[in-house]
Amino acid sequence: MATVPSAALPAVPRGQAGPASAEEQYVTFTVGTEEYGVNILSVREIRGWTPETKLPNMPDYVRGVVNLRGIIIPIFDLRARFGGSQTEVTKRHVVVVLQVGERTRGILVDAISDILTVAHDAVKPPPDIDSGLIDQQYLSGLVTAENRMVTLLDVTRLFAGDAVEVLASHPIQIPHQAQA
């Protein structure tokens, strides 16, 4: 379901656009039939699926938390995040561990496909989507790689102001000062 980019759109600010380099590298992966890419600089590691611990009262796309060598990171189901059903996880599914600001978070994807080197001027502005599920600001652009269209994700925006944060409705008392 490739969307046709509209040339009339105003330029969307790009999260990772460095002034000096004319090109950047993206790790690309598939979710269903679509291909997405995240800036390689935000990828901390790629790991196989390990069973998650579910979190109470979370939307579908928050799969739960896993233990990443002693730190506890949340896993987001990208398919569910973009309005699909929760991924039926198999051993072949992977988690892309992202460093987003101070936080480490994982996204569950179907498979890693490629590492793309993309010139800045090759990035087309994203289409005007307003589905209620995905804000176009999460997208930093579209590129074409070997006849495939890759949607570049802005990870900072993807997790910022997430609906998840809103769910923490009333404050609770934390009885123990947690050690990270």
Partner 1 sequence: MTGAYLDDLDRFKATYFDECAELLAVAEAGLLRLSPQNIDLDEINAVFRAVHSIKGGGGTFGFSQLVAFTHEFEAVMDRLRSQQIGVTTELVDVLIQANDVMARLLTCARDGLAVPAGLADASASDLKRFLQKDASGPGAPAPAPHPAAARTAPAAARSFVIYFMPKSDLLLSGNEPAFLLRALKRLGQAEVVCDMGRVPPLFELDGESLHLFWQIALTGTTDEAAIRDVFEFVVDDCQVDIVETTGSADGGEEEAFGVFAENLPYVPPGQLTVYEAGAVDGAQAAPARPEGGGAGPGSGTSAGGGGLGGHTIRVDLDKVDRLVNLVGEMVITQAMISEQLRDVPPGTLQQLVEGLEELSRHTRELQESVMAIRAQQVRSVFSRMPRLVREVAAQTGKEVMLATSGETTEVDKTVVENLVDPLTHMIRNSIDHGLETPEERETIGKPRSGTVHLSAQHRSGRIVIEVADDGRGINRQRVLQKAVEQGLVPAGAALSEEEIDNLIFLPGFSTADAVSAISGRGVGMDVVRRNIASLGGRIGVHSTPGVGTRFVLSLPLTLAVLDGMVISVGEQRFVLPLTNIIESLRPRRADLQSVANQCDVIMARGEYVRLVYVDRLFRIDGAIGDPTRGLVVLVETEEGGRLGLVVDEVLGQQQVVIKSLESNFQRLDGVSAATILGDGRVALILDVAGLQSMSRNTPARAIPAAALPAA
Q: Which residue in 2, 45, 54, 59 binds partner 1 (CB under 8 A)? A: 54
Tell whether residue 53 is a contact of partner 1 (CB under 8 A).
yes
- Reading the block at residue 17, the tokens are 């656009």
Tell whether residue 69 is a contact of partner 1 (CB under 8 A).
yes
Tell whether residue 116 is a contact of partner 1 (CB under 8 A).
no
Q: Which residue in 74, 125, 126, 141 binds partner 1 (CB under 8 A)? A: 74
Q: Which is nearer to partner 1, 80 or 150 (CB)?
A: 80
Tell whether residue 86 is a contact of partner 1 (CB under 8 A).
no
Residue type, 74: P
Tell whether residue 21 is a contact of partner 1 (CB under 8 A).
no
Q: Which is nearer to partner 1, 3 or 67 (CB)?
A: 67
For residues 58 and 164, the answer to whether their CB atoms sit within 8 Å is yes
> Which residues contact residue 140 at a Cβ distance below 8 angstroms, ignoring those fewer than 6 apart?
12, 14, 15, 16, 123, 126, 152, 153, 154
Q: How many CB atoms lie within 10 A of CB 152?
A: 25
For residues 126 and 137, the answer to whether their CB atoms sit within 8 Å is no
The residue ranges that bind partner 1 (CB under 8 A) are 50-57, 64-67, 69-74, 102-105, 164-165, 168-180
